[in-house]
């Protein structure tokens, strides 16, 4: 296309296109409202949020994007478009492990966008409770970190909870030193969550060897401690710096640059099949030789990739364990269904925690 050679004309054309985008966004919203109306006619309790549909929309647009608008920017742009559209049909309420500006808060926002309502609660158990009682539509909890391992409390709560896994968020965790101080040398104590401290241990020992390190229940609570104490520093997120008005004295201090945390989205309802799904289960092996091998053999027989296995004590009998497993595929897929049927007859206990879109 032939572009104008002067800035004012270029800006006029941008304004014209922005007007057209706004018109199209409002037209799109009318269809979203109509779909919500039709869904409620069919099922009053149905989720308006449909992750499978969101994945399909974004992937289709990324495939056909001719540029120069970057394809990787399509996902966050449409996350906000879809978040705002859903808010027209009622607020999407999400409970998360608080306080505000924790990494769980960031993960929830990454999943549901700026237009949802985020409610911080005091514990992972409270997240489960809020969703189980129907006070919140969704909940977001951490499940594992690439360097620190699994969050055992989250695994334990799944055993008795009726909730299902509705989705997952994989988020890169970047830790920063935040403070009201103007320079790092003025920091006399550093606060943070034990996991964040462990993930930055080498940096702390090298750069702040004489500074005391104090544990807090969350990185956000650590940032809050710095608001009125100019000699305090916190290891926390960029969002915490914005929320509490702190300066980032050092950015990205984590020892492992490949530091990711996986979060799960909880719901009373399951997610629809997308074709790129993951299924999570809990199983209990019978107490005999080769029991675990017998449990996992059906997955190999049906060509199912098992991406995770984690053991936890049952707390009911000494040396008796539950196994948490993640599988590629949806529980309604024929081969997954057949494999689970075989596992069921080989184990003492089997619970499907949900099938949901795998993080893209």
19, burial (CB in 10 Å: exposed 0-12, middle 13-18, buried 19+): exposed
Choosing from 263, 299, 302, 324, the catalytic residue is 263
CA–CA dist 52, 45 (Å, integer): 18
User: Residue 237's CB: how many other CB atoms inside 10 A?
Assistant: 24
232, burial (CB in 10 Å: exposed 0-12, middle 13-18, buried 19+): buried
Verify whether residue 154 is a known catalytic residue. no
Choosing from 102, 104, 154, 261, the catalytic residue is 261
Verify whether residue 219 is a known catalytic residue. no
In sequence order, which residues have a C-beta less than 8 Å from that of residue 115 and are 6 or more positions away? 80, 83, 84, 86, 87, 92
CA–CA dist 89, 86 (Å, integer): 6
Beta strands in 102-146 (DSSP E): 117-121, 138-145
Q: What six digits make up the tokens of 76?
A: 């966050």
Q: Known catalytic residues?
A: 261, 263
């Amino acid at each position: 296309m032939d572009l104008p050679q002067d800035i004012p004309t270029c800006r006029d054309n941008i304004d014209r296109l922005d007007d057209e985008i706004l018109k199209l966004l409002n037209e799109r919203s009318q269809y979203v409202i109509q779909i919500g109306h039709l869904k409620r006619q069919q099922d009053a309790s149905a989720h308006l949020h449909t992750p499978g549909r969101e994945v399909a929309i974004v992937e289709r647009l990324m495939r056909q994007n001719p540029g120069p608008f970057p394809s990787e920017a399509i996902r966050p742009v449409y996350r906000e478009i879809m978040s705002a559209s859903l808010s027209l049909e009622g607020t999407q309420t999400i409970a998360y492990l608080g306080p505000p500006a924790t990494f769980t808060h960031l993960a929830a926002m990454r999943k549901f966008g700026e237009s949802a309502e985020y409610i911080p609660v005091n514990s992972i158990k409270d997240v489960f409770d809020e969703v189980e009682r129907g006070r919140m539509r969704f909940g977001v909890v951490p499940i594992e970190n690439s360097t620190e391992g699994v969050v055992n409390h989250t695994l334990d709560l799944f055993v008795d909870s009726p909730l299902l896994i509705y989705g997952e968020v994989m988020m890169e965790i970047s830790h920063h030193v935040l403070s009201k101080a103007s320079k790092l040398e003025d920091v006399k104590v550093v606060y943070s969550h034990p996991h964040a401290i462990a993930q930055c241990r080498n940096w702390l020992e090298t750069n702040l060897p004489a500074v005391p390190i104090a544990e807090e229940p969350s990185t956000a609570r650590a940032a809050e401690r710095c608001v009125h104490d100019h000699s305090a520093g916190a290891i926390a997120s960029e969002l915490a710096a914005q929320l509490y008005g702190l300066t980032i004295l050092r950015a990205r201090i984590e020892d492992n640059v490949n530091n990711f945390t996986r979060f799960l989205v909880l719901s009373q309802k399951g997610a629809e099949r997308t074709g790129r799904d993951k299924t999570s289960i809990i199983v209990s092996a019978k107490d005999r030789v080769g029991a675990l091998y017998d449990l996992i053999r059906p997955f190999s027989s049906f060509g199912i990739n098992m991406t995770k296995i984690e053991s936890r004590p049952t707390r009911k009998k000494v040396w008796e364990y539950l196994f948490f497993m993640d599988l590629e595929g949806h529980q309604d897929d024929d081969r997954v269904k057949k494999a689970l049927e075989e596992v069921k007859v080989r184990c003492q206990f089997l619970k499907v925690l949900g099938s949901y879109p795998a993080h893209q």
